Amino acid sequence: MSAEENPKKGSTPSDSNAPRKDATDPRKRKRRGRRGRGRGTGGGTREDKPQRKGRPSSRRQRGAGVDKSAANLPDPEAIQRANERFDRVPKAMGLAVDIDPPPRKVSVDWKLSPVPLKTEREVHDIVTRPGEFGFLPDSRVDEIAAQLKGRAISLEQALSLRAALNQEKAVFSHGRLQRRASEMLRRYEGGESVLSLSKRYDFPPVNLFRAILTARNWSKTRIKESLREPEKKLNARDVKEFRRAESEDRVTHVNQSETHHAADLFEKMLCDHFDAHGVRFRTQTELLKEQVAAEGRPVRTPDLLMLDHVEINGVPVAWIDAKHFYGANLSFQRKKTQKQVNRYVEEWGHGAIIYRHGFCDGLKLKGAILLDASPINLTELIEHNKKLNWDRENGD
């Protein structure tokens, strides 16, 4: 056959009526074009590439029409649930009580001063250093304070942010620490201290000490009991190393009593604030007792469950939960709090989270507005913290 009779053995003549292969199968033409560009021939030239980069990606196109301000608006379903919580049948948890007089509307104006997201990000490297997980000496605190000048964040907020960053670091580094537990044990038994290993590898000291015990094939129960009574369960060197680790670790240390007491004080002052303004509510203690009696365990226990139609800055608030720390825009902290908010919204609708040390304006929680503690009288809590610092500095 000639080329005209068998097109597969040659190209179609320019004056032929038969269609070209390129015209009949655009998918094959596209594949040849991609292969051609890879070899420097055929489907494209280098001059084509800037045009491809200039075109918006499909992801950008999908997000182009989204109103970003919508992310800052309260959840309408949660708002409706909050407004209707007293009329539900059966009654919402904790509201099956006689409210006399009936719930009234209370409007509260709450001035907010959030920390800009850009400022929070700038402060990350100022407040954290590898292996620095404990209380800071005065010289280091003064150094941080000097670097914060001119930034819209207080020293207390920055130090609370430091605690959140270290907590997140501890969580995300846990797997890496477990994989290197045998190495930590080998170095520890070779004479290196826990604090030295902590600074070298940037692991929280108490977590690192636990990993060393795990590498000795100790069970979780044995480790827990040993750290509860170290003088009785550990040898002399281990006791000394553990006590040093605990004193330099405010992230994963065993004794959290100081933190819990301060949080309880903050919750008490929050209750005093709303009580002074005539707002009725049920406390966490009341809800806890009621739920344990009915369910055998606590189920949903916000710090305040409102018995009035409270609106803060025009947004309905059915419940409030207090956090004795700074509300950082960090994934670990945000996800943990959002999970808690979801449980409360499911039962009562929209609520509020109040942060003792304020919050970042980049932090968003669906179903809750964010508040700082600026309108609350914190004198008792401040005096308590001063006493703790004095006792710590004087070795009491």
How many domains does the chain divide into? 2
Residues 6+ apart with CB under 8 A from 92: 85, 86, 347, 348
Whether 20 is in a domain gets the answer: yes
Whether residue 127 lies inside any domain: the answer is no
In a domain, 153, yes or no: no
Q: Which residues make Cβ contacts (< 8 Å) with residue 120, sequence separation at least 6?
A: 153, 161, 328, 329, 360, 362
The per-residue pLDDT string of the chain (396 residues; one tens digit each, 9 = 90 and over) reads 444 444 444 444 444 444 444 444 444 444 444 444 444 444 444 444 444 444 444 343 333 443 444 456 789 999 999 999 999 988 899 997 788 899 999 999 999 999 999 999 999 999 999 999 998 999 999 999 999 999 999 999 999 999 999 999 999 999 999 999 999 999 999 999 999 999 999 999 999 999 999 999 999 999 999 999 999 999 999 999 999 999 999 887 655 666 788 888 999 999 999 999 999 999 999 999 999 999 999 999 999 999 999 999 999 999 999 999 999 999 999 999 999 999 999 999 999 999 999 999 999 999 999 999 999 999 988 887 777 777 766 764
Quote the strand ranges of 8-79, DSSP E.
none
Tell me the chain's radius of gyration from C-alpha atoms. 31
d(CA 251, CA 163): 7
Single out the residue of 323, 325, 376 nearest to residue 352, CA to CA: 323
Residue 336 belongs to some domain of the structure: yes
Does 299 fall in a domain?
yes
User: What span, in angstroms and rounded, lies between the C-alpha atoms of 172 and 178?
Assistant: 11
Instruction: Provide the pLDDT for residue 255.
Output: 56
What CATH number should be reported for the domain holding residue 274?
3.40.1350
* Distance from C-alpha of 85 to C-alpha of 93, rounded to nearest angstrom: 10
Token representation of residue 373: 């503690």
User: Which run of H or of E encompasses 192?
Assistant: none
| pTM of this structure | 0.76
Strand 304-312 relative to strand 315-323: parallel, antiparallel, unpaired? antiparallel
**Shared-domain flag, residues 81 and 26:** no
Task: Assess if residue 103 is contained within a domain.
Answer: no
The verdict on residue 151 lying in a domain is no
Instruction: Specify whether 355 is located in the same domain as 288.
Output: yes
Instruction: Report the distance separating Cα 319 and Cα 179, nearest Å.
Output: 42
3-class SS shares of the chain: helix, strand, coil, % to 5 = 55, 10, 35
The DSSP letter of residue 137 is: P
Domain limits for position 13: 1-41
Q: Are residues 294 and 339 in the same domain?
A: yes
Instruction: State whether 19 and 80 are in the same domain.
Output: no
Q: What is the Cα–Cα distance from 285 to 309, expressed in whole angstroms?
A: 21
Q: Is residue 91 in a domain?
A: no
Q: What is the pLDDT of residues 341-359, one digit of tens each?
A: 999 999 999 999 999 999 9
